[in-house]
Structure 1
Amino acid sequence: MNTKLTLTIDKSVIEQAKTYAEEQGRSLSAVVENYLKAITKKQDNAIKEEELSPIVKSLRGTFKMPADFDYKEELNKIREERYQKYINDEN
């Protein structure tokens, strides 16, 4: 649900923001909304970071995934292996 918000901002900032929004092919409201989402998401991530145990925090970043890794493809391989095992066990 969208709600109207009134802001008091310096006129030159508003003009620059309108120009930016137009260049991006978006409304100024959409730009402001996305900015607010981004900064509140950072806060949410910071809170979640605090909730991690020290062990999990220490493991973070220890595994480097290959650039061409396709998790969907890997998931399908695992499913196929399980399905084949299931079929072989029934025979």
Structure 2
Amino acid sequence: MKSKLTLRIEEELIEKIKKLSKEKGYSVSKLVESYFKSLTGEEKKELTPTVKKLKGLLKNKNIKEEDYKKHLQDKYL
């Protein structure tokens, strides 16, 4: 069940939060709820859209640690 909560916050901070929420595509209420959940340890770790797309991509692939090390050497050396 959701309930209404009134907060007293400096106007300048409210404007910053509104801007951030618009950029993130979340409501201010959702941002505050998420923050409170993180404080209480109840926050569920959500995957970002990019990670969701990549999840399971390498499933059942035979990639060895040596292959990855070689990839890094080729990339950075």
TM normalised by structure 1 equals 0.45
Paired with 2:14 and 2:2, the residues of 1 have a C-alpha distance of: 21
Q: Deviation above 3 Å: which 4+ runs of structure 1? A: none
Rg larger in structure: 1
Structure 2 runs not aligned, ≥5 long: 43-58, 61-77
2:23 equivalent in structure 1: 23
Gap regions ≥5 residues in structure 1: 43-69, 74-91
TM-score under structure 2 length normalisation: 0.53
Q: How many residues align?
A: 44
Aligned 1:1-91 pairs, distance under 5 A = 1-41=1-41
RMSD, aligned α-carbons = 1.7
**Deviations, residues 4-58 of structure 1 (Å, cap 9, x unaligned):** 000000000000000000000000000000000001108xxxxxxxxxxxxxxxx
